[in-house]
Structure 1
Amino acid sequence: MTITIEQPQLDAVAERKAPAGGDPAELVLDGGFVVPDANAFGNTFRDYNAESERKKTVEEFYRVNHIRQTHEFVSRMRAEYGRLDRTEMGIWDCIELLNEFIDDSDPDLDMPQIEHLLQTAEAIRKDYPDQDWLHLTGLIHDLGKVLLHPSFGELPQWAVVGDTFPVGCAFDECNVHFKYFKENPDYHNPKFNTKFGVYSEGCGLDNVLMSWGHDDYMYLVAKENKTTLPSAGLFIIRYHSFYPLHKHGAYTHLMNEEDKENLKWLHVFK
């Protein structure tokens, strides 16, 4: 079955302005959509310093992740998993497969992934009823987490989930738990530890190696299977965990014009 999806209308630009009678710190998009600073349960998103039962688990996750995600490791994993020869299954089968996993990198969510996917898709459908491609993107954006399952190699969590970042250039200090990058071999490699590293200004994020995980894997799956999702959908899938970019504005020197247009939709999605 083929799902035909229309190209998005890239006319919604994110800016900081106060909604009528609202909090001036809220992010408002043209068209009136408000991106909240707190989740549906009233808690602030992504507070890595808040005392919680998950704090130690999350920090240990990032310690290992930041030490082991190297340019060599990412290149090897992309070559191996880019063959897409593990197994074949439908979207709903993948969603059900994720029901047994909880993301150790997330300080906010300790629910099964299936609930997160359905909540994401429904929230987007409510706010953007006419953008069917965006609903679908919300539903499938985390399906790459099947890498945790034995059928897909049973990779450790540090190689599947967590915030993503470019490898092959200097690690930006806005990365969460940045201090652990100092134990990464690439941190001390002059080939990789400068602003541009192996890249060039405006080269485009498509040409940048990102830390390996579910985002890049699902991007490869969708792209190699000739998805009808628009480029903005693929951009969301590959970079929705790239918080240094879409939350802190880091690494923009690597973006091209298409990236800048697609980033508008990523701001809506996050």
Structure 2
Amino acid sequence: MTIIVDQPQFENEDKVQIPKNGEKSELVLDGGFCVPDANTFGHNFRDYDVESERQKSVEDFYRVNHINQTVDFVKRMRHEYEKLDKVELSIWECCELLNEIVDESDPDLDEPQIEHLLQTAEAIRTDYPNQDWLHLTALIHDLGKVLLHPSFGELPQWAVVGDTFPVGCAFDKSIVHNKYFVDNPDYNNPIYNSKHGIYSQGCGLENVMMSWGHDDYMYLVAKENRTTLPSAGLFVITYHSFYALHRSGAYKHLMNEEDAENLKWLQIFNKYDLYSKSKVRVDVEKVKPYYQSLINKYFPAKLKW
């Protein structure tokens, strides 16, 4: 069962500001949220063109990702993982597994994922203290990255992390490193390479197949384990890596009215998801009781994964 939440009050929506080029201040303080002017490597956030060893590995990741994420591949992965027969774990146990994982597609961060989850959740908790479902959504939004762990099949990075995008229709030019789609088997398939492809105008994103990864997997786990998170929380989990939509405005022709309302929450969330990445450590034991109470509120004690 899911519940619908009231629409957000957007008093903080425009308060998170990105420093202008050339500004040297370490942090921009606005609306209670601190926005770094550079990522942990000293570069602009989500800058995929800067020359560095990290960027070379990120580009190679997207080359392999864009070649292999096809309609057939997504269907196979959905069929395999919808069984939820890998393990049974609590949410917090799954969070702890992420201590062993680093996302190779991320140009902004090279720390274990648990740090990023708590950084994001705590930043949102400060500015939106009454939206506890959003705090928990921030904590769990990347838990699907456990697909990289041996207990979950140890999928390759290109099948777990990175920006997501629809399959079954044309690949939009706003997708990062889109030049590599030319070698994707679906690229020249007339069934899949038109604007709408196998979909229809306003069909709703829930009816659109996304490239397979941790977003889709965590949505599947949450839904099938009967979470009571609101629909906006599930939308954030499912599409937080869909940058072509929430940053570039692509694929809106596939959205329905509910998607449009939930997108407002996703765009709020994204500011914290992206700009809360820092070297500031979170005291896990100090904040754990609060997040455990939210887990107990919205999820069963053990989940099938």
Report the TM-score when normalising by structure 2. 0.79
Distance 1:45 1:23 in 2: 11
Task: Give the aligned length.
Answer: 259
Q: Call closer, same or farther: CA 1:15–1:100 in 2, change over 3 Å.
A: closer
Q: In the TM superposition, what is the alpha-carbon distance from 1:40 to its structure 2 partner?
A: 7.4
Q: Call closer, same or farther: CA 1:114–1:24 in 2, change over 3 Å.
A: closer
Structure 1, unmatched stretches of 5+, are: 26-31
Q: Deviations over 1:58-101 (max 9, x none)?
A: 00000000000000000110011011111110111111111111
Q: In the TM superposition, what is the alpha-carbon distance from 1:11 to its structure 2 partner?
A: 3.6
Task: Name the residue aligned to 1:12.
Answer: 9
Q: Deviations over 1:194-233 (max 9, x none)?
A: 0000000000000000000000000000011111100000
Q: In the TM superposition, what is the alpha-carbon distance from 1:9 to its structure 2 partner?
A: 2.6
Report the TM-score when normalising by structure 1. 0.89
The within-5 A match list for 1:111-130 is 111-130=111-130
CA contact (8 A) 1:12 1:264 kept: no
CA contact (8 A) 1:5 1:132 kept: no
Q: In the TM superposition, what is the alpha-carbon distance from 1:51 to its structure 2 partner?
A: 2.3
CA contact (8 A) 2:12 2:127 kept: no
- Percentage identity across aligned positions? 68
Higher relative contact order (CA 8 A, sep 6+): 2
The within-5 A match list for 1:1-270 is 7-13=4-10, 36=35, 38=37, 44-270=44-270
Distance 1:227 1:16 in 2: 27
Distance 1:203 1:250 in 2: 15
User: Which moves more between the two structures, 163-172 or 6-15?
Assistant: 6-15
Q: In the TM superposition, what is the alpha-carbon distance from 1:12 to its structure 2 partner?
A: 3.4
CA contact (8 A) 2:68 2:184 kept: yes
Structure 2, unmatched stretches of 5+, are: 22-30, 271-305
Structure 1 stretches of 4+ with a deviation exceeding 4 A read 4-7, 13-17, 21-25, 32-43
Letter paired with 1:9: D
Q: Call closer, same or farther: CA 1:196–1:36 in 2, change over 3 Å.
A: farther
Distance 2:81 2:261 in 1: 29
Distance 1:202 1:15 in 2: 29
Letter paired with 1:58: V
Letter paired with 2:190: P
